[in-house]
Structures are given as structure tokens and as C-alpha cells.
Amino acid sequence: MSKIKTDVVVLGAGPAGYVCAIRAADLGKNVICVEFDNLGGTCLNVGCIPSKALISAGHFMESTKHAATMGFTVETPQLDIAKLIEWKESIVKRLTGGIGMLFKNRKIEWVKGKGKIMTPNKIEVETADGKVEIECTDIVVATGSEPAPIPGFDFCEQVWSSTEALAPKELPKRLFVIGGGVIGMELGMFYAQVGTEVTVVEFMDQILPGVDPELCKIVQRKAKKAGMKIHVGSAAKSWKKTATGVEVIADIKGKEKTFEADAILLTVGRKPVTSEIGLENIGVKPDKRGFIPVNDQCCTKTPHVYAVGDATTGMMLAHKGSAQGLVAAGAICRQPGVAYDPKVVPGVIYTDPEIATTGLSEAECKERGLDIKVGRFNFGANGRAMSMQATDGLVKVIADAKDDTILGVHMVGPNVTDMISEGSLAIEGGLTVEDITLTIHPHPTLSEVFMEACEDVHGMSPHAMKK
């Protein structure tokens, strides 16, 4: 067994792990990153990035349907799924290769293999060339998450996780999606846009559970226009393979119904990868869902052992993980005042139209007994949205009725995933509705919709009909 010594070992190279490794190296530490798969983790390899590449292709296909309105004569595009997957993979390779270059630039060593924590200052890695023992001062657990199965629907050739849905060998004619959450709706809409018949079954009473129902209705309406069949308050019960694909039996609001499809896409959530990594050896016990408890410096109950990203409690978001990675690196390097304590963590969903949210929802404000005022403005009244033929959606701003501070911003519409940061900045900075309305927004832009929604909080939007 070969032995190595270093300052910091980061277990996992996803957005939480590789960002942590880079920051720790920038702050003067010798760093080793242990990762058994490609650099970049789920997000860059089989998650955020490849899914957005396919979604962009779906949007392109969808946009050609409106070409005649703008005076173009366009033949119906024919999709070569192999070339699309090849293009998607080229993007993934460029980004993961970029991480490798960043590691090399900072002299971060990548030990490729499966790591297991033996003591608070020792990790054992099973590599292709044998075991490697790494001694260190600090350990950061950034092992990420993986798709969660449900009873009776184990992943196989016919039952896909998001990983298989991102690299189909051929385009299915019919796809049965179990779970109308973020992944199910994002990928379901892509497949619908490129010609697949898509059926979605969601257990809760709305798609995208937890998201403002006002926003969800707009997405569901667009999904139905794209031909998607959506059943809420329903559940898949069993399935079997047939000569032509699969047969799924589902409970549709209390009535049993049979569906035929070529494949099943199971997207009921993800679970943290925290078992079999040696946590029991250092006295760290995950909670009942598998998440590792940490303090505001991302340190576990065991000194010098940190955890970040999907392995910790909270939303499973790449940007949340990266933020925690920076905090953990700062804590390890004894930076003063470093802590993970955001007011808000924005959420973005790449459906058509997109959804972006930050801060409190109306329901959460009511639960807390807050006195609020709400402003709305539709993209249908925005010139830039009209010129893009993307007028579905709105921006909703929630403000404290007492001091006018912005409590929440909820958007559904074109490019809102790029617009939401202004809302997050406003909440983090304790800005008021008036602060936004007095900030001149360029015209014609989509960002004006946020400004107009803020004006509407006080019924003063110049481009809205008086109530």
C-alpha cells in the first residue's frame, strides 16, 4: 500500500468538492481530491450541464414552430439523437477538462478511486493500481447524491434514472415519467418538444411540489400544449416488460389505469451518498435520511472533518454546494468570520417557461403571520418578451407591508433563471421595493418585468391596468 501525506483531502469532485479543493489550494494548503468517476460530479457529467444542453435543443425545436409568424419558411427539423448526444458530451468534456486544468494549475492532486475514511486524519483509497493511504490534517466529505429508487421500480434497461434519460440510444416514441418534480418536468418537456409522447404521474396534488402554484399552473398549461399528459394526485404501482416496451399500472386519483410506453423515467428524488464511506469510523452519524449534520462552518461533530453539498441537510443544489465548499475551505484555513449563513438560496427550474424563486413564498409568509403586500407583472405586457415570442409568465414580488423590504421573488417566464439574482441580492441586502423601483432598468429588457412587479406592490406600475 502506497502512502501520501497532505494538508487537506476532499472526498468527491462535484461542484461542492472541486470548488472547496481549489479555494483551499488558493489559501495555501496542499490538497488531494479523491474521486472515483470523472471530475465535476453529477452536475457536470450527468446532471445540470448535460440536461441544459438537451433542454436548449428542445427549445430550438420548439422555436421553429413559430418561424412562420416571423416570416420564415422552415421545414420541420429532423433530430439525429446520436449527434445531439455527441454535442452534449462535447460540452461535458470541455467543462470537466477545465477542472483538470484548474487542478493542475494549483498543484491539486487527483487520486482516482473510491475513498473510505479510516480516522479523522486518514483516508484509504481503492484505486485501479491498488490501495493508497492518505494522511492529512483535514477531511472534507463532498460525496454528493444519487437517484432514489422506489419499491417495484428498480433501475434497469427499461426503468431509467436521469442518467439514462440524458444519453438515450434512440428516441423513445412513448415515455412514462414517474415524478413531476424538477427533473421529471425538465426532461419530460425536452422529450415532448422533440416528438416523444410523454405521460407524467405525480403523487402530490400539483407538479413541481413546493413551488408557488401560480407559477406551476403556467408551466402545466404550456406542457399540455406540448402534448404532455399530466396526472397529479396519482401514483405508479407496478410495471412489466412487453413485446413492444413496457406496461405500467397506475392509480390515477383512485382509479386503476394501464399505460403503455417504450421506457419509464423514474425521477422521485435523490438521496445523499453517505453510506460505506467510513463515517462510522470517526463517530459521525447521518440523520435518518442520510444527511450529515454540520455547523455554520460546515464542520461535523468530529473536529477537522467537514461536509458540504448534497451530503448535508438542505436543498440539493450545485450552487448551495459550491457556497458551502468555499466556507469549508475558509474555515480550514482559519479565515476570520467565515460561515455558511445565507438569507436565501435561489432555486431555478429549466422547464418551458423557466421558473426561478428566492426568499419566502406567500404560503410561508402566511404561516409566519407576516403582514405582506404582493405585486405582479406579466411578461405578456413586456416588449422584449413579445419580440422573443415568449410572453407566457409573470414576476411576483412579496414585500413586508410594514417596512417595504422584499421578502420573496417568484418568477416564471423567459430567461428568469438569469434574472433571479437581482431578487436574491435585494433580499440579502435588505433592500426595499422602492430601492428597486428607483433603480433605472434598461429598456427594452426582460428585467423591466421585475421592476414593474415592484411598482405593482403599491399599485403604481405605469404599464399595468389599474385594479
The rounded radius of gyration (Å) of the Cα atoms in the chain is 24
Question: What is each CA distance from 448 to 238, 442, 457, 459, in whole angstroms?
Answer: 48, 7, 14, 16
- In the chain, count H helices and then E strands: 13, 24
Q: How many residues does the chain have?
A: 467
**Please, which residues have CB within 8 angstroms of residue 173's CB and are 6 or more apart in sequence?**
196, 197, 262
Residue 327: half-sphere exposure toward Cβ, Cα within 13 Å? 23
CA distance 141 to 150: 26
Alpha-carbon torsion angle 147, 151, 155, 156, nearest 10: 180
Element (H, E) at 362: helix 362-367
Q: List Cβ neighbours of 160 (8 Å cut-off, separation of 6 or more).
A: 263, 264, 265, 266
| Set 410, 443, 458, 463: catalytic member | 443
Residue type, 343: K
Tell me the three-class secondary structure of 446-462, residue by residue. CCHHHHHHHHHHCCCCC
How far apart (Å, rounded) are the C-alpha atoms in residues 393 and 412?
5
Measured CA to CA, the distance from residue 446 to residue 416 in angstroms comes to 8
| DSSP conformation letters of 220-284 | HHHHHHTT-EEEESEEEEEEEE-SSSEEEEEEETTEEEEEEESEEEE-S-EEE--TTSSGGGGT-
410 classed as catalytic? no
In angstroms, the CA 255 to CA 73 distance is 46
CB atoms within 10 A of CB 378: 19
Q: Which residues pair with 287 in a beta bridge?
A: none
| Angle, vertex CA 108, rays to CA 105 and CA 114, nearest 5 | 140
Q: What are the catalytic residues?
A: 443
